[in-house]
A and B are shown apart, each in its own frame.
Chain A
């Protein structure tokens, strides 16, 4: 169990911030997190910045204009898990005693690419053949549907559920309701995934302030404990293997449950990496929220919406909030901080005591995914 606690959280609504620089997007989130922590910026001993497409020294560029340079600033790149990887580094920093209080922020400005799929590393052999992220999940979806007899309607239900919950989240981009039919009839991206089964990108930033438990208790009466902070990478696998299950996420969550001394039945709310709807179904099973092959029944039952047995992505997830890559992992954590504090307003999950956040991603030939980060949070 970690000794770190979150004492402040701030983020900007995700969307298309075309006229803003990535630095200014990040600065707004950082100042909100510091204000939420009710500390002076001088109390921060170390800072981490998670970004995948933000370029060299993104952390220094954002903090410079806030007069927050001089301390150690470390930039963390781990594709879709960059922000969450930064959180894990900040946890280490406060646990080791290197800093009493650390700042972590994730930022991304993806409108600079002008739309389309995320640019991947051109030297990767799969990418050179035409691999794109939607196709990698589409092939998982094809195997999943074949293996477990699920239908494209189940892939659509994940979006319908996400939109329903995002309606109450002012930080999400897509908040209008959609029907299963609308999702199925949307433009095809990589079959069987339609446009509405794929998360949008966008611009955004999210920041948290983390302190060791002693300082956290002095400073705040509503700090949130980081009960587990776990990272793993995909194992290199070049032969035949089953892609309808995520070995990486299963392995990471087992470590997270162990570190936090909890099990799947203890989780009251989860924010998971629904970059594509098939992913959310696979992760229900990986987390043990249902048996293998039962995810389609679980989403259909409504048990993963607010008011259900295990609400997943009350924020609307990546599907509705959007996925400014480096900011996503921290945005997930902030949603859970709000849920645990009881500050989530209309989308509040009642009786929320333990929350799980999960992000994974990155397309590397031969790997399930590049990185997977799971955090377990509690009051």
Chain B
């Protein structure tokens, strides 16, 4: 299993996620000038054009599902059906990722509180399993 690349599985110049103390965190960049938070990380701030390539930040991957769909027809390498969705993170960033349920493995719906975990998202033609951040239902911390 290897991590999915940032923009391209074959381009490892910038990672989009890592593990910190056993937890998945997303890696973005933040503009040193205006504070604009970018995920995935970018070389330049789209608001003020300041270079931010060297200003990487960890983004806490908790948020709420905004919209989602179960995909039944997909390119080779993706095992159908799988659910993908937009997750609005508490940091204000919207991320598209696979939703892989939780302990119940249930399909997620808009409004569900989720957090990132690592999971397999597809398989390369050579059989390599590609791992990435996926979102699962957040455990109820009061229990």
Chain A interface residues (CB < 8 Å from chain B): 116-117, 119, 122-126, 128-132, 134-135, 138-140, 142-143, 146, 187-193, 236, 238-241, 243, 365
* A125 B7 Cβ-Cβ under 8 A: yes
User: Which B49-86 residues sit within 8 Å CB-CB of chain A?
Assistant: 66-75, 78, 82, 84-86
Q: Contacting A240 at CB < 8 Å: which of B6, B82, B94?
A: B94
Residues of A within 8 A of B97 (CB): 129
Q: A135-B69, A188-B72, A190-B72 are in contact. Are A125 and B94 (CB under 8 A)?
A: no
Residues of B within 8 A of A129 (CB): 4, 84, 96-98, 121, 132
In the complex, whether B122 has a CB less than 8 A from a CB of chain A is yes
Identity of the chain A residue whose Cβ is nearest the Cβ of B64 in the assembled complex: A240
- Chain B residue with the shortest CB-CB distance to A191: B70
Nearest B-chain residue to A117, judged by Cβ: B73
Across chains A and B, the number of contacting residue pairs, with CB separation under 8 Å, is: 99
**B68 touching A125, Cβ below 8 Å:** no
- List 13 A-B pairs, Cβ < 8 Å: A117-B73, A125-B7, A128-B5, A128-B7, A130-B122, A132-B75, A134-B73, A135-B69, A139-B69, A238-B38, A239-B93, A240-B66, A241-B94
> What 4 A-B pairs are tightest by C-beta distance, nearest first?
A138-B69, A139-B67, A123-B8, A126-B96
Cα–Cα distance between A104 and B73 once the two chains are bound (Å)? 34
Contact assessment for B69 and A191 in the assembled complex, using a CB-CB cutoff below 8 Å: yes
Residue contact B46 to A188, C-beta cutoff 8 Å: no
Asked whether B127 is an interface residue with its Cβ less than 8 Å from the other chain, the reply is no
Closest CB of chain A to B30's CB: distance in Å? 13
B6 touches A143 (CB 8 A): no
Beyond contacts A128-B5, A132-B71, A191-B69: 9 other A-B pairs, Cβ-Cβ < 8 A, are A122-B9, A129-B121, A132-B74, A135-B71, A139-B69, A142-B68, A142-B69, A238-B93, A240-B94
Q: Which of B6, B74, B92 contacts A130 (CB 8 A)?
A: B74
A124: which B residues are within 8 A, CB to CB? 7
**Given A117-B74, A125-B6; A130-B86 close (CB under 8 Å):** no
Report the separation of the CA atoms of residues A190 and B46 in the bound assembly, to the nearest whole angstrom: 32
Given contacts A128-B9, A129-B121, A132-B75, contact A239 B92 (CB under 8 A): yes
Contact (Cβ within 8 A) A130 B8 = no
What's the tally of chain B residues with a CB closer than 8 Å to chain A? 38
Instruction: Report B16 CB to chain A, min CB distance, Å.
Output: 7
Once A119-B75, A239-B92 are accepted as A-B contacts, the answer to whether A130 and B82 lie under 8 Å apart by CB is yes
Q: Are B121 and A130 in contact (CB under 8 A)?
A: yes
B110 CB contact (under 8 Å) in A143, A236, A238: A143
Query: Could you tell me the distance in whole angstroms from the C-beta of A121 to the nearest C-beta in chain B?
Result: 9
B71 to chain A, nearest CB (A): 5
Q: A142-B67, A143-B110 are in contact. Are A132 and B73 (CB under 8 A)?
A: yes
B75 and A116 form a contact (CB under 8 A): yes
Pick the residue among A125, A134, A143 that contacts B67 (CB under 8 A): A143
If A125-B16, A146-B110 touch, whether A131 touches B7 (CB-CB below 8 Å) is no
Give chain A nearest CB distance to B89 CB in angstroms: 9
B88 at the interface (CB under 8 A from A): yes
Bound CA–CA A142/B94 (angstroms): 17
For B67, list chain A residues within 8 Å (CB): 139-140, 142-143, 243
Q: Which residue of B has the minimal Cβ distance to A118?
A: B75
B78 CB contact (under 8 Å) in A130, A138, A142, A188: A130
**Given A122-B8, A129-B98, A135 contacting B84 (CB threshold 8 A):** yes
Give the contacts of B89-143 with A (CB-CB under 8 A): 92-94, 96-98, 110, 121-122, 132
Q: Are B110 and A123 in contact, CB atoms less than 8 angstroms apart?
A: no
Q: Which residues of A contact B86 (CB under 8 A)?
A: 139, 243
Whose C-beta in chain A lies nearest to the C-beta of B42?
Answer: A238
In the complex, what residue of chain A is closest to B134 when comparing beta carbons? A129
| Given known A-B contacts A125-B7, A129-B84, A238 and B73 have beta carbons under 8 A apart | no
